[in-house]
Amino acid sequence: MKINEKELEAVFKLPASKRYSYFIKKICDWEEVWTLYDDGFATISDDNGNILIPFWPNKRFAESCAKEEWSTYRAEMIGLDDFIEKWLPGMKNDAYKPAIIWNTYDSAVTSIDELLKDIKEELDNY
């Protein structure tokens, strides 16, 4: 589950759609998802005012985004089963959207249903 600095930088430079594919594969391989937390989970807003919660496939990705307004946040791991069974249904209920591999500039944003479908399709390969 370790990634080196070169991989981290290379993934952050990928277009959002490629980062999304990387995220799906890695969270299914490693069975964990990462976010940032400090008296609440980190959020961002899109141009339409939707609340987005950023997620990363590895602690290092999350930690590298814990700066500026998130400088007091720490990386927090979510088990893949909890992410699928609790987090995503709860986010859908609250009308939040996932921001996949936010790189401090942009991220892949998709619906909860699409994200669940893609995760389940990838897990079928195991």
Residue with tokens 């859908």: 92
Task: Measure the CA–CA gap between 105 and 115, rounded to whole angstroms.
Answer: 21
Task: Measure the CA–CA gap between 77 and 79, rounded to whole angstroms.
Answer: 7
- What are 71-102's pLDDT values in tens digits? 999 999 999 999 999 999 999 999 999 999 99
Give the residue ranges of DSSP H helices in 16-87. 16-30, 59-64, 80-82
Which pLDDT belongs to residue 6?
94
- What are 9-48's pLDDT values in tens digits? 999 999 999 999 999 999 999 999 999 999 999 999 988 8
| CATH 3.90.340.10 fits domain 16-118 | no
Task: For residue 94, give the 3-state DSSP assignment.
Answer: helix
**Would you say residue 1 has pLDDT above 80?**
no
Q: Name 100's bridge partners.
A: 55, 108
Task: Measure the CA–CA gap between 26 and 4, rounded to whole angstroms.
Answer: 14
User: Hey, what amino acid is at 90?
Assistant: G
51-55 vs 44-45, strand pairing mode: antiparallel
2 or 68: which leads in pLDDT: 68
